[in-house]
Structure 1
Amino acid sequence: MTLISIRCPVNPSEDPDKVLAAINAIFPDAEVDLSDGLYKGTAGLDRFSQLIRKQKILDATRAVMIMNIRGNRTRMLVNKQVATVGKISFADRNPVLGAIEVTVEDDDLMSLIDRVAPVTVDGEEVKV
């Protein structure tokens, strides 16, 4: 079973509605609640997968997902400022304004990564 968890801080200088809009731009099916300055909840990866194809960042996404594997989960930090315009940019550790933290958990994580961010050759998806 696949579980996608979303966590995103809302800083005092930020409008919670705009942070939620950034989350929804990447994860339109996200079900999140705001508590103590933090959005937490779950989402699907369908729109995320579409966006990384549109932006042609499959290799970068795959590398981030594989690099952060710990057991049966992986983690990505998505820049929330870039997300406001419906684009994906991966953030480094501890970005100044925080990031949308996405944790993906699956019993067969590599198969999930292969579906979401498949291997490419010369920029084209390789169908296995």
Structure 2
Amino acid sequence: MKAPNISCKIEGYAAVNPSEDPEKVQLAVSQVLPDVVYQYKEGSIKATSNDIKCLQKIQESIKKHRSNRVYRRQMRFNTKGDTTWFYLNKQAAFVDVIAICEEAEESAMGPIKIILHSKNIEKIVDWLAPETLE
């Protein structure tokens, strides 16, 4: 499904544990959020973009694995105003697998937190994880 033309800000955060290589953590984040700007600061990687297309890989994974209900539930539960978020498993992302975590503790080395900001947050949720899959 083609990405809608919706104004948004996408952020990804991942802690870099003392035992982890920051470049490998950045690689894990880049596997789920390609073509974004990265910063390493104060023990974490921050990824930012204003282009909804950087979520396309996540959207394709949701469709492929038919996991739209889990993502929708998480995003609806975590919505505050024009912002929502969800966790992805950092180790899975490192090996190019997108796997949602319902709790941060499900990712042993800590999760990647994906935060979405938009005045049309419902439309982004509906595109990313539609109620029904084709």
TM-score normalised per structure 1 = 0.86
AA aligned opposite 1:101:
K
Are 1:112 and 2:130 matched, yes or no? no
Q: Shift of residue 59 of structure 1?
A: 1.4
1:26-81 deviation digits (Å, cap 9, x = unpaired)? 11112111112111131421111112212221111111111110111001111101
Which residue of the other structure, out of 85, 90, 99, is the alignment partner of 2:95? 85
Matches within 5 A, 1:44-55: 44-55=54-65
Are 1:59 and 2:59 matched, yes or no? no
> In 2, distance between residues paired with 1:46 and 1:74?
17
Percent identity between matched residues is 30
Which residue of the other structure, out of 33, 40, 59, is the alignment partner of 2:39? 33
Which residue of the other structure, out of 77, 85, 95, is the alignment partner of 1:75? 85
Tell me if the contact between 2:88 and 2:99 (Cα under 8 Å) persists in the aligned partners.
Answer: yes
> How many equivalent residue pairs?
122
Alpha-carbon RMSD across the aligned residues, in angstroms, is 1.5
TM-score normalised per structure 2 = 0.83
SS at match of 1:103: strand
Equivalent residue, structure 2, for 1:12? 18
Q: Shift of residue 93 of structure 1?
A: 3.3
> In 2, distance between residues paired with 1:76 and 1:47?
15
Runs of 5+ in structure 2 lacking a partner?
1-6
> In 2, distance between residues paired with 1:93 and 1:63?
16
Q: Shift of residue 86 of structure 1?
A: 1.9
